[in-house]
Amino acid sequence: MRKETVERIRKFTEDREWEQFHTPGSLAKSISIEAAELLECFQWSETEYDLEHVKEELADVIVYCQDLLDALELDVDEIVNAKMTKNEEKYPVEKARGSAAKYDQLQSLKS
């Protein structure tokens, strides 16, 4: 996310003095609630949905994620790259390409 966007999110929270309500638990709950609202956009159809509504709900999820990053003093690049390293190990291309199987269900490489 661009620095200007992150600063805008932070300013929004600071101007309203909402940091006091932004405990990790409350933010995690808010992320889950907003994610459920995003999912609701696709409740009855995978192809017919209101893109503007999807964008609004997705933005809400992202904003709350940034708030949680701030509350926990985490760096998004650091934690995403650490997780990607683990994912790359759990899902090697040779085993995972074209498969939706969970990492522990991937078939062994054939010799």
First to last CA, the chain: 43
Q: Show me where the domains of the chain are located.
A: 1-74, 75-111
pTM of structure? 0.89
Residue 78 has a pLDDT of 98
3-state SS string over 79-93?
HHHHHHHHHHHHCCH
Class of domain 1-74: mainly alpha
Which residues in the chain come in under a pLDDT of 50? 109-111
Give SS3 for 36: helix
CB 31 within 8 A of CB 69: no
Query: What pLDDT does 107 receive?
Result: 72
Cα Rg of the chain (Å, integer):
18
Determine the pLDDT at residue 106.
87
Q: How far apart are CA 81 and CA 72, in angstroms?
A: 17
Q: What pLDDT is stored for residue 108 in this prediction?
A: 61
